[in-house]
A and B are shown apart, each in its own frame.
Chain A
Amino acid sequence: MGLDIYKINPEFKDIMPREIIELEENATWSTKMNKPRGIKELPETKELLEEHSLCAGCPEAAALRYVLSALPKPEDTVIVNSTGCTSLMFPHIALHTVHSLFGNQNAVASGIKRVLEWRFPDTQKDVVVLAGDGATVDIGLDYTLQSFFRQEKITTICFDNEVYANTGGQESGMTAKGQVFKMAPTGKKFDKVPMWELATTSGCHYSINMTASAPKAVAKAVREAILIAREIGPTYINLYTPCILEIGLSANEGLGEMKDQDKDRFASYKHISPEAEAYLKKCKEEGLL
């Protein structure tokens, strides 16, 4: 399995659309690359994310591209996602994804990871959770933290847009204090939940808080987090991907907003456990990073 399903039946090669033939020939699967693929492959690769149905200029779409380009072994990666704006992009990518019930994503991912380890003991399979802040920190907080406590070997990426975007703008635990939304007219009453700190205290070996303003930095964090989750234990990435629609920005203003927040609510936070640090060093020597 795995890569084989992406081989076109030779009988039908000449009736296949050109773009599908290009997918077969040029896809950046790890077996075809002599070095890990990365951001530079983004403009060319069909499998990463060609089209999507999010708002024009939504930073979530850009951030998903960065994440996808950084997967160390895309063909052996399962992405578990949850309802929200992010989930609208998953039907468009040519990778294994599982849509889970809202909030349950870390529980579902734990099960998938364990079964994959049992079913494919000789293949390294990466399980990555990718969900919004509402799913990760509010409704699914229990599942998120429990998976950290249990030391599940999965990577959790939270697309923190500080709002329930897909349902029209309700406040979430990640919303900043005082923020007003269409459906939170009196303003948020308490502070933003420092989820990256909770992740650290709950046992994550890698926890980082950042914006998606710098593609390479996002890609680096994703790759490190996935490698650590393979060998050591749970990892967490909190990624600011502002909902430009709900905070009233236009399509070209998302990047500026992220850059501004680099110095404010998302000033960089990075925790890495000593074992994880030692492991990353080893990965670097082996050329995995």
Chain B
Amino acid sequence: MLKKITEGPAGYMPQSAPSMGVELAPEGQALLYGNIVSEEEAMRDAARALLTRDNPTIFPGPQVLWDWKDDVADKAAAILELASEIPNCKIIPMPDYRPKYPKIDVKAEINPNHPNLTILDNRIKASIFVGVHCHYANLSLRMIRAGTDCYTIALCAYMGHEEAMASIRDLHASTIHKFKEIVIEERNKLGIEWEPTLPPENPSLQKEDHAALSPSDYGEYRSLIMTRKGEHVTEVE
């Protein structure tokens, strides 16, 4: 198979997949490396990537993280089942699309405006995007292809994503179950032994104790809180 869309890094501002001639898969089919294939073929390749590459991670987005519609609970349960069948799989959420300044807690979340930071810091080589609104998924997937060597899988409730290595469309909880079964099959074929285990909890950073901060904690930004020459800041707000 000619791979039109592969793992990156493709370099800063790569040509977009649609402009390279990749079209979305029709109903009932899927995309694999930019080619239209059967859903099963795409799922098998994606499963092998998740099983053989380092630090497989699922990135759920707002459409499954927030409790806003009746069917999200089923999808969420299915995602957790899938995660527990992938050895050492983590879940890092994308709850919020607002850009994060001055820095993001890369262990705790991923952000569509700079998704590469979370991928690079955690050395993630295979990932699943699920429940991310399409325009933000496109943005993230292309940035990840530009700047990292991560294999990306889009599980999309709508028409799928050209920028992902593997893209499944019209996702329901049953589709996730099917994917899970394929993961188990491929895992057995590869001879990997694994007991279903839920991914670890979110390792959010502790809240900063402002009372214990000193200007040096602000690193290169300390000049901002020390505006006058000779003035020493002992207390910070």
Contacts and interface: CB of A to CB of B under 8 A. Distances in A.
Interface of A: 4-12, 14-20, 51-53, 56, 91-94, 250-252
B67 A8 contact: yes
Nearest to B96: A20
Given A17-B95, A19-B204, A51-B102, A12 B65 contact: yes
B68 A12 contact: no
Contacts of A250: 227
A180 to B, nearest CB: 25
B201 to A, nearest CB: 5
Contacts of A94: 96, 98
Contact of B91 (A4, A15, A56, A92): A15
A16 B68 contact: no
B60 interface: yes
Contact of A92 (B65, B93, B98): B98
Contacts of A20: 93, 95-96, 109
Given A20-B96, A91-B98, A252-B227, A15 B202 contact: yes
B22 interface: no
Taking each of B67, B91, B105, which has the highest tally of chain A beta carbons within 10 Å of its own beta carbon?
B67
Contacts of A51: 100-102
A7 B224 CA distance: 37
A10 B67 CA distance: 8
Contacts of B73: 9-11
B66 A6 contact: yes
For the residues of B in contact with A, the DSSP-based class is loop
B65 A8 contact: yes
B227 A251 contact: yes
B76 A11 contact: yes
Q: Which of B80, B100, B101 has the most CB of A within 10 A?
A: B101
A14 to B, nearest CB: 5
Contact of B224 (A4, A52, A56, A93): A56
Contact of A11 (B80, B101, B102, B204): B80
Interface residues of B, number: 33
Contacts of B98: 91-94
Given A20-B96, A91-B99, A251-B227, A7 B202 contact: no
Of A15, A16, A51, A56, which is in contact with the most chain B CB atoms at under 10 Å from its CB?
A15
Contact of B93 (A4, A10, A15, A93): A15
Contacts of A17: 93, 95, 105, 108-109, 202, 204
Contacts of A5: 66, 68
B199 interface: yes
A9 B67 contact: yes
Given A5-B68, A7-B66, A11-B73, A18 B101 contact: no
Contacts of A56: 224
Interface string B137-167: 0000000000000000000000000000000
B66 A52 contact: no
B204 A18 contact: yes
Given A11-B80, A51-B101, A251-B227, 11 more contacts: A5-B68, A7-B68, A9-B73, A11-B73, A11-B77, A12-B93, A15-B60, A17-B93, A51-B100, A56-B224, A93-B98
Given A4-B67, A17-B105, A18-B202, A9 B96 contact: no
7 contacts: A11-B79, A15-B60, A16-B95, A17-B202, A92-B98, A250-B227, A251-B227
Given A9-B73, A9-B76, A11-B77, A16 B224 contact: no
Interface string B204-223: 11010000000000000000
